[in-house]
Structure formats: structure tokens, C-alpha cells
Amino acid sequence: MIDLGCGIGNNSLYLSERGFKPIACDISEEALRKLKESIPDCNTLCFDMSEGLPFEKGSIDILIADLSLHYFDEDTTHKIHS
């Protein structure tokens, strides 16, 4: 389960509290540091999603992109999920 553009981890916290093990992903190292303060056991990954996702095709069961993908133009959005 991937929380894409997680920020300080609102969705990741919700998921963690319900027994899920999300991978919290963001471009901001600072946001991921703050997330780890409230969810120390959460796995995090820092990357720029506009360059594509660093996961093998078909390896993600659930991807949450709450308030993250809509900031990109159509071409970039297609590149991200290709």
C-alpha cells in the first residue's frame, strides 16, 4: 500500500492505526521527518513522482494519491503512472 504525496502523513497515520503498513512517499524530506515523529515505524520513501514511480509495474495493490496527482499537467500525470 502506497501513500503517494503523503506530506506529514495524515493518511498514513489513519492506515497505520488500522493495522495497515503503508509506504509513505513524498518529495519533501522535511515532511517525511515530521511524519516519522508521529509514526516512527512507518516506511518512507523520498522521490519526485514527476519522474515516475520507483515500483515495479503490477507490484502495488493499493495506491493512495490524495491531493497529489492533480497538480500535474496531463502529460506528466500519464508519465507518472506509466
Q: For 38-51, how does the pLDDT look when each residue is reduced to its tens digit (9 = 90+)?
A: 999 999 999 999 99
Sheet-wide strand order for 63-64: 43-46, 23-26, 2-4, 63-64
Domain residues for the domain of 73 are 2-51+58-81
- Cα(78)–Cα(82) distance, integer angstroms: 6
Residue 81 clears pLDDT 90, i.e. is over it: no
- Cα(51)–Cα(10) distance, integer angstroms: 24
Q: How confident is the model at residue 52 (pLDDT cuts 50, 70, 90)?
A: confident
Output the pTM of the full model.
0.86
Structural domains in the chain (count): 1
* Residue 79 φ/ψ region, left for φ over 0, alpha for ψ in the -120 to 50 degree band, beta for the rest: alpha
CATH number of the domain at 73, please.
Answer: 3.40.50.150
